[in-house]
Structure 1
């Protein structure tokens, strides 16, 4: 019986390379697309991230609407409100994502 040493060596090399690529952490912002099930498909990756496994950035903004002229600091007539802004995603939306924690967890920070 003969051994196929060349084939085994090639298989080992391919396994090592594919393991290294799949375990690589991403450290830079990436673009992605939201699919029909609202899963996140990152550009250059073959598998989508389920919508329960990525986060959405929810900035808190402060809106100040003036209701009258302010004459003195002590008698402020401004209406001061804080809101959370929600990012709404639809299928086929292009988004910008940043990696956090382990490099395999992503936050969608906005539309592109």
Structure 2
């Protein structure tokens, strides 16, 4: 079975139509569209997904710290999946890690901060 056999082509088409529509989408719908499109075109859509996930966590889940943390962790994972030679990868990864760290600090999750700091240092050293 090829990779394309796992792609829901209808979902890809719906996501593209939603993003190309004339109306502004709620960030929730942007995230859903970028999640789908990042599977078929990661170079184009992973950076957009990273930004949209942060906005979604900040706008819709500022009061729900656990969900905000999960969305920011997803943004970090998306940044890690970016192609290593992508020029903006390091900046996007550092930004995602800083935002994740900020949420960890807000939630007083000290045990996870050291790992985030180590990863940030590794990214900056490259």
Q: TM-score when scaled to structure 1?
A: 0.23
Higher relative helix content: 2
Determine which structure has more spread, i.e. the larger CA radius of gyration: 1
Q: TM-score when scaled to structure 2?
A: 0.21
